Amino acid sequence: MKPSLDYEQQLHTIPVRNVQAVVMASERSPEAILVEVQLRYAGLLRFIAKWVHARQRKRYELSGLSREMFERVDGKQTVEQLIDWLCEQEHLTFLEGRALVVLYLRDLMRRGLIVMLAADSAER
């Protein structure tokens, strides 16, 4: 079982961009960016994907607030700092901001665009 983080530790985690992600301008929308990541297939799926020539990369288009949030993920700011920024920017309460930031970061992790580091491992 994975060790769980308490509330205080969660606030001090640091989101870090995937170093293999490629960020480029969107051709469809000047306000948006495209983020391209390599897809990873686990176990037997890796061989099946290679055999059927499945795609190896995936692109995500980010615009508006999602683009701003992704650009703020710099490997230095903690989750708490991102929450404070969003609350100030959008005039939200801390709980509203926390809910939005946590959901957004979870979505970015599932897509492989970022990873979350505990504050003590980020200092190494």
Render pLDDT for 31-69 as a digit per residue (tens, 0 to 9). 999 999 988 878 888 778 778 888 888 899 999 988 999
* pLDDT of amino acid 100: 94
pLDDT, averaged across the chain = 88
Which own/partner pairs from 64-72 qualify as long-range (CB within 8 Å, at least 24 positions apart)?
64/31, 65/90, 66/104, 67/31, 67/32, 67/33, 69/101, 69/104, 70/17, 70/33, 70/35, 70/108, 70/113, 71/33
Q: Look at the alpha carbons of 40, 12, 84, 92 in this order and tell me if their dihedral is positive or negative.
A: positive
* pLDDT of amino acid 17: 94
What is the CA 20 to chain-centroid distance, rounded? Answer: 13
Q: What is the mean pLDDT of residues 75-95?
A: 95
Q: Is the pLDDT of residue 2 over 70?
A: no
CB 33 within 8 A of CB 62: yes
Q: What is the mean pLDDT of residues 77-87?
A: 96
* pLDDT of amino acid 13: 93
For the stretch 95-108, pLDDT in tens is 999 999 999 999 99
* pLDDT of amino acid 57: 86
* pLDDT of amino acid 124: 46
What is the CA 104 to chain-centroid distance, rounded? Answer: 7
Answering whether pTM is above 0.85, one says no
